[in-house]
Structure 1
Amino acid sequence: NKQIIDATIDYTVAYKPNIAFYETQGSKGWDSLQKTIEYIPKECFTIADAKRGDIGNTSAMYARAFFENMSFDSITVAPYMGRDSVKPFLQFEGKWVILLAYTSNSGSNDFQKLKIDNTPLYEQVIATSSQWAGDDKLMYVVGATHPEEMANIRSLVPNNFLLVPGVGAQGGSLKEVSAAALTKDVGLLVNSSRGIIYASNDIDFAKEASQKAKEIQQEMMGYLDLLC
């Protein structure tokens, strides 16, 4: 982890550890996660990719675990159980909740695109949850694999940051995503994980990860420059 962080820090604004991969290692995994978070420079935004969400008192414990004990800046949360399952995460000052809205996996259409009163479920999730907190506490996960819906989602939440996974290994296009949802006022947190971490499986993995991160960062800067 240290080698990947050192190799990519110049091109990165955030790190998003996938909590499940640490959980598989038991207490050693949690210890590794804590050390990783402590190693990441404080100026970098940290995201606990945990996708938590449960009844209120359980969510409150999840929030304490990631915001207080591990000092993450934000956490991904599943909104399926409704407002009372999300509210405990919103109580922490200076912390962000990143709600799953329209995810990048192929099964996202099983439920997220189902229509209720002629409106896709993911749109209803965004419209309803946007009333729970301001754009200074709430972001949304919107997969890069859905560029055709990205502009519509941006119109629903014009001032909220979007966390955009799916660029790289999952086939999402940074160009299409930026054209649809990047504005001069509100940016995107574009996530490329496997495309960077596994740019090489050889001894030069850190060097190749650095190069891949640089390429993505430079491409993103090009789209930002077009907005100026």
Structure 2
Amino acid sequence: MNRKQLFDLIKQKQTYLCVGLDTDLDKIPKHLLSEKDPVFEFNKQIIDATHQHCVAYKPNLAFYEALGPKGWESLQKTLEYIPKDIFTIADAKRGDIGNTSSLYAKAFFEQLNFDSITVAPYMGEDSVKPFLKFKDKWVILLAHTSNIGAADFQLIESKANGRRLYEEVMLRAQSWGSTDQLMFVVGATQADKIESIRKLAPEHFFLVPGIGAQGGDLELVSKFGMNEQCGLLVNSARAIIYASAEKDFAQAAKREAEKVSEEMKIYLNKYL
């Protein structure tokens, strides 16, 4: 999916919600555990209930890899089930030297056919460039994340120019890929910084995790993070997919997704 198609989808649906498919066998409703593939059955019902209220799905690969071959099978079936007009994100946080990154890119873009993948930039340009060689595929580069440990490295200031490490990453990475193929991860819990972060990359899309269960402020993120093509995919996982642990889990997920989507519609009309 290219940038125009993504923006057209946001305008059409009047939402920029990404639903995180962080499917945990310990958290899904117990009645599903008797299914042949409980993970896929859970995802299927969540997708059926929420696809009208979101523009993207983001499976976190750890939840699938931890289940071995069965997890990969559940992931493949999930991807095939997601409607073709919805953006897909492999939350895999890959990043390694050339040949290895090339194979990771083939795995996620050719074999699994994701639209995008999250990539760690720590090893530099040659670890990211292989992912940028695929037409209409996206790299979502970790920039300023929402976890507590983000401060350990991301906020270190350069003695040479005073820039923080995440700022250096964002500025330098823009020479590696265009606004049609490169996004940045910016945590919603960094909402107080998002206005200055937007100035670092005015035209790029941001993937923003951290609303819902993590407490990020959706209005602040929208007000200061939106650009002329929206430029935001805001992710919510637990608050939506685990809104209920009972047999009504899909209906509860739908209500939560619809509530977030309706709020996003207000901000699209207000700030876009």
Q: TM-score range with shorter-chain normalisation?
A: over 0.9
Counterparts of 2:136 and 2:225, CA distance in 1: 25
Contact 1:158 1:186 in 2 (8 A): no
Per-residue CA distance 1:64-104 (angstroms, 9 max, x = gap): 00000000000000000000000110011110000000001
What is residue 83 of structure 1 aligned with on the other side? 125
> RMSD over aligned Cα, in angstroms?
0.8
Per-residue CA distance 1:136-187 (angstroms, 9 max, x = gap): 0000000000012111111111110000000011110101111111133332
Equivalent position amino acid for 1:41 in 2: P
What is residue 71 of structure 1 aligned with on the other side? 113
Equivalent position amino acid for 1:120 in 2: R
What is residue 256 of structure 2 aligned with on the other side? 212
Matches within 5 A, 1:1-228: 1-117=43-159, 118-227=162-271
Counterparts of 2:206 and 2:152, CA distance in 1: 22
TM-score (norm 1): 0.98
Counterparts of 2:58 and 2:133, CA distance in 1: 21
What is residue 27 of structure 2 aligned with on the other side? none
Runs of 4+ in 1 over 2 A off after TM superposition: 183-187
Unaligned 5+ residue runs, structure 2? Answer: 1-42
Q: Helix, strand or coil: the match of 2:184?
A: strand
Q: Helix, strand or coil: the match of 2:170?
A: helix
The structure, 1 or 2, with the larger RCO (C-alpha pairs under 8 Å, 6+ apart) is 2
Unaligned 5+ residue runs, structure 1? Answer: none
Aligned length: 228
Q: Helix, strand or coil: the match of 2:139?
A: strand
- Shift, 1:116, TM fit: 0.8
> Between the two proteins, what is the percent identity of the paired residues?
60
Equivalent position amino acid for 2:215 in 1: G
